[in-house]
Amino acid sequence: MTTVITGASKGIGLELAKQLIAMNKNVISCARSDGFTFLDLERQSSIYALRDELLDTPINLLVCNAGVFLDKGESINSGYPSIKWEKTFSVNVTSVFLLIQCLLPNIIKAKGKIAIISSQMGSQSKANGGSYIYRASKAAVLNLGRNLASDLKKSGVAVGIYHPGWVKTDMGGEQADISAAESAKGLLKRFDSLSLAKTGCFENWNGKTHPL
């Protein structure tokens, strides 16, 4: 059982990796920092290098967890510069597609699964305004996951999309609802229960179905 996790240097990704390792699972923890399998999601060449490194390695679970939230508190009058749109979409959306595309042969080989960490902020029915860039990126990756689920079903690959909760990490902040350990524990149960019957699901960390 091999799991590949992006954004494993801290926060939810680090906790997912720790908990899987504690269960004696084989984890390929990807990040930009020392001590991890190197992956810079803003660079296509880095994604291709990981593809080449993992050639022929069956992947049972790919967790697309890495993300950025760069537009907290931006003003609609003068904020939301295009550079933030570009960087956010590069990490939160484009790289998710490219990585899945590159590792698909490995995932199909294992009849594996793909978990995409989106957010409740990407939900169309919870459109509370603000943070337009982050919200649009998480809506896009939710849409991407649901369309991949349709296409990959015939290859035996299930795709789940998840809201990890409001989590105490650098991104979520100290005032958030739950710890990274709680979120990761819940998410791992969700990944376990993901099957072709449930492919395309959008679920909360605690197992509740999330409105699209």
Q: Smallest gap, in angstroms, from Cβ of residue 154 to ligand NAP? A: 28
Site string for ligand NAP, 123-162 (x = CB under 6 A): ----------------------------------------
| Rounded Cα gap, residues 22 and 43, in angstroms | 31
Q: Which one, 73 or 77, has the nearer CB to ligand NAP?
A: 73
Q: Which of 3, 4, 5, 11 binds ligand NAP (CB under 6 A)?
A: 11
Residue with the two structure tokens 């699972």: 25
Chain centroid offset of residue 12 CA: 10
Torsion of CA 121, 38, 10, 82, to 10 degrees: -40
Q: Smallest gap, in angstroms, from Cβ of residue 137 to ligand NAP? A: 8
Q: Which one, 35 or 56, has the nearer CB to ligand NAP?
A: 35
Q: For residues 170 and 191, is the Cβ–Cβ distance under 8 A?
A: no
Q: Smallest gap, in angstroms, from Cβ of residue 2 to ligand NAP? A: 19
Count the residues of the shown chain that bind ligand NAP, applying the rule CB under 6 A. 30
Q: Smallest gap, in angstroms, from Cβ of residue 76 to ligand NAP? A: 21
Say which DSSP state 127 is in.
-
32 touches ligand NAP by CB under 6 A: yes
Other CB atoms within 10 A of residue 148 CB = 22
Helix, strand, coil content of the chain in percent (nearest 5): 45, 15, 40
Q: Which of 39, 62, 136, 184 binds ligand NAP (CB under 6 A)?
A: 39
172 touches ligand NAP by CB under 6 A: yes
Which of 27, 22, 91, 14 is CA-nearest to residue 54? 27
5 touches ligand NAP by CB under 6 A: no
